[in-house]
Structure 1
Amino acid sequence: MIGSTYVADTVSPPTPVLSVSPVVLSAPGRAVDLEVRVSAPVTGGELPVILLSHGQGHSNNLSSLNGYAPLVNFWAAHGFVVIQPTHLSSRTLRLDPATPGAPLHWRSRAEDMKRILDQLDVIEAAVPQLLGRLDHSKVAVAGHSMGAHTASLLLGARLTDPEDGTEVNLTEPRIKAGVLLAAPGRGGDALSEFAAKNYSFFVTTDFSAMATPTLVVAGDKDTSAHLTVRGADWHTDPYFLAPGPKSLLTLFEAEHGLGGVSGYDVAETTDENPERVSVVQRLTWAYLRTELHPGESAWQAARAALAAGPNPLGRVESK
């Protein structure tokens, strides 16, 4: 259990947050323009940026710029600017199922993040009180479930395009660190028959070139039987199959929702647990804070606090 001592020792008091949506970015060649939500602390300068990619859960609006409030609000209240796109895979867009790239639009999801980075100046100018406050050199990416697949491609994971057989390299050098939450693992014989047939881009997933520093967060009860025959260990592949530096946060008794990161009190969370969400909030914040500000001790302190309690909710290992 994480209590007040953990909060006091590892996280500064929260700052009020402003959140603006939709900010519309021009996206020639995309089925629709790119809409994003921008959340930021109301004070402070030289703010680092987190690009957050949504998953594909059962709820409509969680898979859009309207999801993941437990993470977004925490990160923004503690010094990050969080930018959330609505990917073409979102049900909120009601696109024709025949739209190229459907249903999951794996390539355009990563391209959305690159568009955001290309238009950071536009975003700063569009959001009241934000102009001049971003540090464009300190950018991280985070994603949950399918969003973690998107993030992994930007961090250096590769795959073979099932349409034309070419190797896909979408590595984004402007991104300096990442967080993968309940990420899909390797392809091949690890996939379920359903996943191999319906999501063929998963078949060739390869983490061997994913060199960007990354924190992988996995639940030890996240079996994801519709996607993999490996069980919960599948979600740790981005840690074990990628080169260092990497860290792995394993959450005990956690399922795919990791306690409820995709939204407050949402029905699709099968393992609702506010304390677990608190662990995810603080450990991910501390990891990215330290990766983007070398010499800071937030990550070390958060790891120590997690291990110090009589009944830890998870464990961290690194390489």
Structure 2
Amino acid sequence: MNKTVTVYGATGVAGSACVDELIDQGLFNIQVLLRQGQDRDRSTLGARAQSDKQALYERWQASGVKLIEADVASHVSLIPALKGTDYLVSCAPYAATESQYALIYAAREAGVERFVPSEFGFIYEWEQFWPMDTEHRAIARQKAFIRRVIELAGLDYTIIPAGLWIEYYMLEPVAVMGDGNNKFAWSSGGDVGRIIPHVLAHPASRNAICPVAATAYCSWNELLETRELLLGRKVARNYLGAEQWQAAYSNQPPGPVKTVMAIGVAATQCPEGMPLWANWNGLHLPEFKGTPLQELFPNYIEPFTAAMQASLNPLSGVTK
């Protein structure tokens, strides 16, 4: 009998890709948990229009996905909604990390077997102890605490760190972490969602940290050289060490750019021999293929970067 997977935060970039991949994979029964009540949508990239959400729901229902509504801030509402769920996948954005507490309690009461928290970035268990206190390290501490809550609840877990989301780091001049030669795990939001069902289906993922490179496993220099070939020009870049990242972060006013820069601080403070990212899928999921960079850059990364350039202060303030 197939396991049942319920996805929370399903209309975001990773969440919707996760549901679509679950449908294509055909290994699980699929449910989508819809928000009911007063809890607002706190998507990192901005909420989808309601009409777009409705189109998603209708397409998913036509593929056999069950939609369940609950007040996601109320365990009284969540417990019956989660009955029959084997694996609960949270694709909550970082701005809504605390929304997972009610989910964990309700999952325990509903008999859920495994909880997949929204940890699709760094290995937060390590980052929470890094020297400089940044807003991203504060997020790391909360996510590490949520891990303890999952364990306290007696639930199995699967943690899927996915390294750097490429789309957030291509504003020019590109701020490179370190000398650009060390390999990093790179993931686009869509590929993060796509890889979740494959990690879940693997027996080695139970009660495990599975750090993936959902799109590519390569150095900054290799990634940017690929981008240059596709653009037909040089990509402006600055190479920043730990002290430079710390200074730039301290001087940056509050906002989305400062949040992204906090990740650079953590990356450049990572001790030698203790990498923040790995390529778990390269070992355990060799059949999984991320979106080719030759397709991803022109069709997604470049339009995303242009939109960021228009709406945010670019990382041009991050200089040597």
> Where on the TM-score scale, by shorter chain, does this alignment land: which range?
0.3 to 0.5
Larger radius of gyration: 2
TM-score by length of 2: 0.34
TM-score by length of 1: 0.34
Name the structure with the higher strand share: 1
